Amino acid sequence: MIKGYIKKKLLTNDLTMLAGTIAILLLVNLISYRFFFRVDLTAEKRYTLAKETRHIIHNLDDAILITIYLEGELNIPFSKFQRNIRDLMEEFKIYGGYKFQYEIVNPFEDVDQEDQEKVISSLYEQGLRPTNIHQRDKEGGISEKIIFPSALVTYKNIDVPLNLLMNTKGLSAEQNLNNSIENLEYNFISTIKNITNKKIEKIAFIEGHRELNEIEVNDISRELSKSYQIDRGRINGQFGILDEYNAVIIAKPKLPFSEPDKFVIDQYIMKGGKVIWLIDAVEVSLDSLVSGTTMAFIAQLDIEDMLFRYGVRINPVLAQDIQCNVIPINIALAGNTPDFQPIPWLYNPLMNPNPKHPITTNINLVCGRFTNIIDTISARTGIRKTALLTTSELCRTRNVPALITLDEVIRETPKRNDFNLSNEVTGVLLEGEFQSAFINRGLEKYFDNLPEIIEKGNYTKMAVIADGDVIRNEVNYTSGGPEIQPLGYDRYTRQTFGNKEFLVNLVQYIADDNNLLVLRGREFKLRLLDKKKIAEARTSWILINMIIPSAFFIIIGITYYQIRRFRFARRKNPEKENSGVFI
């Protein structure tokens, strides 16, 4: 009787425990369904989407499909890259629901060797860029394979290509892949925002002061037109003509600004308008330099007072930098066959981007031409000044007026001791509430009905770059018409510098109120194995990885077996367990 009672009690306890467990699981599922939350335990919060990202994905008004062409046999680094892309897509899907769909495909699956060229050509025409990877086969040999680390974003029958792999010159393959991973969220969400955005924001290029013409800024205009409406026009002293634009670009003017034009720009800034100044404080005639010599003299633009009021001064000097681009120069003697050789040209500095700001992080060197130096005015309080571009650690300046000759680079060998300046600012970002440059200045003679002057403006941003050629693309004039070269591409070295990416990021940071660009500032620590230590302690780590896990599971198994044996022994002999109670 006692034995039956104990068995019944044990059965009741087991059923009660089972029912309680089921009830707890149902309650947890109900709570998780009603109250959505996620926990990211990584140090860098790499699985936590930004607030703006979640907002854009959650509020999609129609279905969006992302096709990622990174499937198949990949080496270890690109397998990790693919895994990070898949994780990000799953995070997007959680917030986007059925409106967000993605697929990862192998473009060469079930494709014959003869048809692979057609597939590559088709994807390339869509704007997707391939890359080569090397991997070992089963026999130990190394084979080369073409892959497309790219995606196609489809929304309402519109396809937008997105290349995911960054390739910054001077960085290792591991660093470039890590930078690509860091920028995945920004690249995807900025593309999705642009393709789904119903309101088209406007950007204006100012004309009327011999700025760079439409052909000379064609490449950057075409790139920006993917996200903005690009207009060009003259101010002509028309007050308020710039108010509808999110940002204004002033690209290398050569003629002085009139007081009415300056006032219109100033008041536009006071209302919260954003301006990107790309200014040459020194004028150099490149046409004359072709013949071997040219003159450099101070440019008369009459905007120095405005920039000084806003917090910067562009010094009318030419920067000479050891870290510079090359130009082809004929080194043959007169009468001999021309012999053009690439010679470092100190007047074309390769400027260092600020690695700690989202505008310039992880971008290549920015190529300049006859660049000037910027001083910031400490007296302008309340303005945050951030250097975006700087010279290298070996730089010097040359005062103007000056005669510049191509013979300089042939006759003179640069001496390290002569370059006594370092990290001079050539591009700066200004953020804050600016004061008007037209306080207590008579403007009645320029306007019939002078509007009320705004003396202190709203919070806004502007950038000053002391080199107008940073935004200028090369143009080859042929019988078939002008051929536009990519911005930042140098046809002599066949390198592509970071000019385009820098300017696109700069415009997005300044013109975009949502500041998606801050996502580019995310850093994921690159945790690479020490290959030297791996080689030295290879045997020890193999033994540790083989013995410790095996021993751990053996101990767990033995412990679990002994516990079960003890419990079942008690169930089989309940009289012994409770014998002390009935004596």
Say which range, 25-29, 225-229, 239-243, 571-575, has the weakest mean pLDDT. 571-575
Bridge partners of 160, per DSSP, are 153
Whether 494 has a pLDDT exceeding 80, the answer reads: yes
What pLDDT does 110 receive? 77
Do 183 and 321 reside in the same domain of the chain? no
- 31 domain-assigned: no
Per-residue pLDDT tens digits for 114-165:
778 888 888 888 888 888 876 665 555 566 778 888 999 999 888 888 888 8
What pLDDT does 35 receive? 57
Whether 452 has a pLDDT exceeding 90, the answer reads: no
> How far is 181 from 171, CA to CA, in rounded Å?
15
Whether 563 has a pLDDT exceeding 70, the answer reads: yes
Across the range 65-94, mean pLDDT stands at 88
Whether 344 has a pLDDT exceeding 60, the answer reads: yes
- 42 domain-assigned: no
Do 317 and 397 meet the contact criterion of CB atoms below 8 Å apart?
Answer: yes
Element at 86 (helix H, strand E)? helix 76-96
Percent of the chain residues topping a pLDDT of 70:
85
**401 preceded by a cis bond (ω within 30 of 0):** yes
- 8 domain-assigned: no
> How far is 339 from 330, CA to CA, in rounded Å?
5
pLDDT bucket at 582, cuts 50 / 70 / 90: very low
**What's the first-to-final CA gap in the chain, in angstroms?**
16
Do 206 and 182 reside in the same domain of the chain? no
Whether 306 has a pLDDT exceeding 60, the answer reads: yes
Q: In sequence order, which ranges of 312-415 are alpha helices (DSSP H)?
A: 407-411
The CATH number of whichever domain residue 96 belongs to comes to 3.40.30
Q: Of 176, 194, 212, which residue is a domain's last?
A: 194
Amino acid at 469: D
Across the range 427-452, mean pLDDT stands at 85
Per-residue pLDDT tens digits for 243-287:
999 999 999 999 999 999 999 999 999 999 999 999 999 999 877
Residue with tokens 């044990």: 10
Do 375 and 419 reside in the same domain of the chain? yes
Percent of the chain residues topping a pLDDT of 90:
38
Do 155 and 244 reside in the same domain of the chain? no
What pLDDT does 581 receive? 44
Do 278 and 360 reside in the same domain of the chain? yes
Q: What is the mean pLDDT of the chain?
A: 84
Whether 583 has a pLDDT exceeding 60, the answer reads: no
Do 461 and 360 reside in the same domain of the chain? yes
- The residue segments making up the domain with residue 123 are 56-194
Between residues 365 and 341, the one the model is more confident about: 365
- 421 domain-assigned: yes
- 6 domain-assigned: no
The CATH number of whichever domain residue 476 belongs to comes to 3.40.50
Whether 580 has a pLDDT exceeding 50, the answer reads: no
Whether 52 has a pLDDT exceeding 90, the answer reads: no
What pLDDT does 5 receive? 58
Whether 459 has a pLDDT exceeding 90, the answer reads: yes
Say which range, 62-71, 97-106, 567-576, has the weakest mean pLDDT. 567-576
Do 543 and 561 reside in the same domain of the chain? yes
Write the Ramachandran bin of 370: left for phi over 0, alpha for psi from -120 to 50, otherwise beta.
left
Say which range, 267-276, 399-408, 508-517, has the weakest mean pLDDT. 508-517
Q: How far is CA 442 from the centre of its chain?
A: 44
What pLDDT does 263 receive? 93
Pairing of strands 340-353, 366-367: antiparallel
DSSP-assigned letter for residue 421: B
Phi, psi (rounded to 5 degrees) for 280 = -100, 110
Whether 476 has a pLDDT exceeding 70, the answer reads: yes
Do 373 and 402 reside in the same domain of the chain? yes
The dihedral through the CA atoms of 131, 135, 137, 139 has a sign that is positive
> How far is 395 from 315, CA to CA, in rounded Å?
15
pLDDT bucket at 575, cuts 50 / 70 / 90: low
Do 172 and 271 reside in the same domain of the chain? no
What pLDDT does 502 receive? 95
Whether 189 has a pLDDT exceeding 70, the answer reads: yes
Do 68 and 105 meet the contact criterion of CB atoms below 8 Å apart?
Answer: yes
Whether 66 has a pLDDT exceeding 60, the answer reads: yes
Count of domains forming the chain: 3
Q: How far is CA 470 from the centre of its chain?
A: 18
Q: What is the pTM of this model?
A: 0.75
Do 389 and 260 reside in the same domain of the chain? yes
Q: Of 171, 194, 217, which residue is a domain's last?
A: 194
Most confident of 288-292, 342-346, 424-428: 424-428
Question: CB within 8 A of 106, min separation 6: which ones?
Answer: 69, 71, 72
- 29 domain-assigned: no
Per-residue pLDDT tens digits for 32-49:
655 555 665 565 566 678
- 311 domain-assigned: yes
Do 395 and 494 reside in the same domain of the chain? yes
Do 528 and 247 meet the contact criterion of CB atoms below 8 Å apart?
Answer: no
Structure tokens at 37: 């939350």
Q: Could you count the other beta carbons within 10 Å of the beta carbon of residue 540?
A: 9
Q: Of 500, 521, 542, which residue is a domain's last?
A: 521
Q: How far is CA 406 from the centre of its chain?
A: 37
Question: CB within 8 A of 245, min separation 6: which ones?
Answer: 202, 203, 204, 231, 273
- 40 domain-assigned: no
Do 169 and 279 reside in the same domain of the chain? no
